[in-house]
Amino acid sequence: MITTRYMFFSGKGGVGKTSVACATAIHLAEAGRRVLLVSTDPASNLDDVFETRIHQQATDIFGIESLKVMNLDPEEAARTYREDLLANYRDLLPEDVLRSMEEQLSGACTVEIAAFSLFTHLLTDANLVEEYDHIVFDTAPTGHTLRLLALPKAWSGFLGESTHGTSCIGPLAGLQEQKEQYEQAVAVLVDSAQTSLILVSKPDTFALLEAARASKDLMSLGMDHQQLIVNSILTTNGEDAIAVILQNQQKDALDKMPARLAQLPRLSLPLLPIPPSSLSGLGCLASYLFGSDSLEADYISLPLTLNQVDDGDYIKKSEIPSGLSPIIDELSNHPHSVIMVMGKGGVGKTTIATAIALALAEQGYPVHLSTTDPAAHLSLVLSGAENTIGYNLTTSRIDPSFEVSAYRQEVLATVGAPLNEEALALLNEDLASPCTEEIAVFRAFARIVSKLDNSFVILDTAPTGHTLLLLDNTLAYHRQIEQSSGEIPDEVRQLLPRLRDPNLTRVLLVTLAQATPVLEAARLQDDLIRAGITPFYWVFNQTWNGVPTSDPVLTSLANEEQPWIEKVVHTLARKTVYIPWKPVIPRGIAGLAGLL
């Protein structure tokens, strides 16, 4: 794998970005390089990987002398940013003016720009260049990474065009001072001698499509220095039926890989018998990344028919229900609910949400299925099934570009109508800032939840960290929307009470039976409970428990799952179901019915 000073690992949730980034950082550090590993994901799990409390300052890792690790905490960054800016005015302005400024700086825009300032600092600080040979970024899932990487250009352009000295995040003085830093960050990101963009995927259709979309968008930003890592490829001798089916599915996905990805330099990594969530497992992964082991990517497809798999051989190691039917039965007793399907990226939220929506629609209930996930794979999972169900099922996707355009037009037509030329120019300036997208998307989220009156509303949410920010910012957006448009829509006012009402909202936590997704779901559950929302069910998806396989890798993975299943059943969840890995890919009516 090609290494540069700055290395960004990006991809769909659950493809192994953190594992690959950590393995890379550890290998470089053990080779004597000075390495800083940084997570830009609000739902970072570096603490779990290194069994160390990771802070916003560089944290030493026991036993790896040349490695330091940090988490970019958006909320802490916002607090620091806000206080640093206000400190310049505390002895100069009256208390009521300071309170007004503090209110201006309390919205989601401040969170974004503060975290972004830390990010650009890591790319441009001369002291860090002297201190570290490599800075490795373990990024948030793809859509949010693209937004992060686009921000230097967006904010630099916005500040260059701003003439009024104020914006949706308050006085611009603190930002104007950093304009040169933002421009320098753009130069670093597009310099192939300094920066590598590593797209991580699994041999899975959805993951590869998202990687191709990311590749295209990054190239549009001038970042064409990309590499592709395909993670978790299974090799088998052909003796185990399940292993052969999985291998053939993976080969089919790779054969149909978008041409954009096929042209990139590619490295293939194996499906390991133990999830690489420990230092020893990461060391094993590093041996494949840096060439001491090898993996033949172009394996041969093996013939197999599905009737060779005997469902009767499934062994259920935990006394919990298999399939989604118990959830469907309980939901049928409470029509007209909001169902939020949440969890770490890559655990199968879209598939679970779609299967539940189809089952309820087939029972005659009106259902609206929507996604707040930038990846938005609903149409691929449905595969035309919505046409079979008919009018009972409607679908939608929150499209940020559409929502931003509609929001700007609304504000200009209402707030902007009576303004003079100078005031209108200032309003247009506010609406041109990157913060506008967050406000517009949030309003769309609230609008979809308001459809509750006459149907089930099922929300396939974005990966955990982004969803938490969305929920946490509910009250902040009340203030932000009030500042931008002068009024708060009824659906926004009603959103938080609806989410907190157990008779109206039911949250499903979807996870894999592995350390990282379980621990992340547990943290999400804690946050939801603090917000007054108690999860309804936990769903273990794609378990190797209950699958009739003798393949040594898959059997080992099933054994590794068992402690996490028991932990959830006995200590975390009120109710739990599990869904074994299926030999038929869960898409369309037939595939999704297999999950019930």
Active site positions, annotated = 14, 16-19, 41, 516
* Integer Cα distance of 302 and 320 in angstroms: 34
- Maximum Cα interatomic distance, the chain, rounded to a whole number of Å: 79
- Quickly tell me which residue has 């201190």 as its tokens: 131
Under DSSP, is residue 204 helix (H, G, I), strand (E, B) or coil?
A: coil
User: What's the CA gap between 435 and 571, in Å, rounded?
Assistant: 40
Residue 328, burial from CB neighbour count under 10 angstroms (0-12, 13-18, 19+): middle
| Phi and psi based region of residue 247 (left: phi greater than 0; alpha: psi -120 to 50; beta: remaining) | alpha
Measured distance CA(130)–CA(125) in Å, rounded: 9
d(CA 232, CA 211): 15
Helix (H) or strand (E) run with residue 255 in it = helix 241-255
3-state percent helix, strand, coil for the chain, nearest multiple of 5? 50, 15, 35
Closest-CA residue to 553 (of 178, 180, 284):
284
Of the candidates 39, 191, 42, the one whose C-alpha atom is nearest the C-alpha of residue 124 is 191
- Residue 28 CA, chain-centre distance (Å), reads 27
Rounded CA gap, 446 and 475, in Å? 12
CA distance 41 to 142: 10
Residues in a beta bridge with 138: 9, 39
364 DSSP assignment: T
Q: Chain centroid to CA 215: how far?
A: 17
Cα(581)–Cα(448) distance, integer angstroms: 32
User: Of 207, 198, 300, 194, nearest to 247 (Cα)?
Assistant: 300
Q: Is 273 left (phi over 0), alpha (psi -120 to 50) or beta?
A: alpha
H helix or E strand, kind and range, residue 482: helix 474-485
d(CA 592, CA 596): 8
CA–CA distance, 544 with 525 (Å, rounded to integer): 24
H or E element that contains 86: helix 74-87
Sign of CA pseudo-dihedral 444, 446, 449, 454: negative
Contact 374, 462 (CB under 8 A): yes
